[in-house]
Amino acid sequence: MKRVHLFEFTDLPWYPQTFRSIQTDYLQFASTLGSGHKNLVPLFKKAMQHAETTEILDLCSGGTGPWIRLQEEFKQVGMDVKIKLTDKFPNPESVQRWGESSRQGIEYLSESIDAMKVPSHLKGMRTMFEGFHHFKPEQASLILRDAVENRTAIGIFEASLKPPLGFLILLLSPLMTLLSYLLVTPFITPRTFARFFWTYLIPIVPLATCWDGVISLLKVYSMRELKELTRPLQNQNYTWEIGQASTGTPIFAFTYLLGYPVK
């Protein structure tokens, strides 16, 4: 599989934790603005029923992603789901900023969890939002193979550009990211001196996010590439579904890969 796999700042071990926290806080804030995640609930329900689990183990969680909103969507359809968030560079303080009622049923593990080496004691449907593209094909294949071998469900979800506006949005995305940083930063908590200093006075973090955003869009696995990754993993005891779901906007769609065991 031929892919351009350029670096992202948040993947670099030396990237300062202060910058990483500011960036993941921004991404988490942005992920809560839309309402399209409700369109993914039927996919979760199907996979979790087949896997006979009510738990979710989220990988590469960053600043918590869409889970506060998704937990509310689960409750509205009568799903009682316990969610564990994990990351190689965990930021458990993120979830603590929400009210106690909002984060009920959501736990952010403080230990470092590598998505390619998930400890056996962590159970539940494995999920990944906007994180799968960080892995090269051979690494991505290992993540999927481990889910099959452990007979656990897995859901991969990434926002991808929709034609015909996709190419134009890709060109404009650095400017859009920079402007949105300047606009939304006052609303992101905690309102620390470091956040404002590295956003407005010396805008290193917004510029790093602009780079990461463009690279992320270029690296998102297409449906054709997802089919290629899952082809060696096809068997009668495990099912793969690949498709797209609406984000509620004309610009992006959720490209998803859903896997679950079948009897």
Model confidence over 133-148: pLDDT tens digits?
999 999 999 999 999 9
The pLDDT of residue 98 is 58
Q: In terms of pLDDT, which residue wins out, 217 or 249? A: 217
Quote the CA–CA distance of 261 and 256 in Å, as a whole number: 17
Q: Is residue 209 part of a domain?
A: no
Q: Is residue 153 part of a domain?
A: yes
Q: What is the mean pLDDT of residues 31-57?
A: 90
Q: Is residue 204 part of a domain?
A: no
Q: Is residue 13 part of a domain?
A: no
CB 240 within 8 A of CB 233: yes
Quote the CA–CA distance of 146 and 143 in Å, as a whole number: 5
Q: What is the pLDDT of residues 65-96, one digit of tens each?
A: 788 889 989 999 999 999 999 998 887 676 66
Under DSSP, the state recorded for 7 is -
Q: Is residue 52 part of a domain?
A: yes
Q: What is the mean pLDDT of residues 146-158?
A: 96
The b/e string for 174-202 (b: 16+ C-beta within 10 A; e otherwise) is: beebbebbeeebeebeeeeeebeebbeee
The pLDDT of residue 171 is 86
Asked whether the whole model's pTM tops 0.95, one would answer no
Q: What is the pLDDT of residues 191-219, one digit of tens each?
A: 999 999 999 999 999 999 999 999 988 89
Q: Is residue 194 part of a domain?
A: no
CB 156 within 8 A of CB 132: yes
Q: Provide the number of structural domains found in the chain.
A: 1
Backbone angles phi, psi at 196, to 5 degrees: -75, -35
Mean pLDDT over the full length of the chain: 89
CATH of the domain at 104: 3.40.50.150
The pLDDT of residue 18 is 93
Tokens standing for residue 35: 């309402």
What residue numbers bound the domain in which 44 lies? 34-163+220-261
| Residue 99 scores a pLDDT above 80 | no
Quote the CA–CA distance of 234 and 32 in Å, as a whole number: 35
| Residue 101 scores a pLDDT above 80 | no
Q: Is residue 16 part of a domain?
A: no
The pLDDT of residue 97 is 64
Q: In terms of pLDDT, which residue wins out, 13 or 145? A: 145
Quote the CA–CA distance of 166 and 174 in Å, as a whole number: 14
Q: Is residue 113 part of a domain?
A: yes
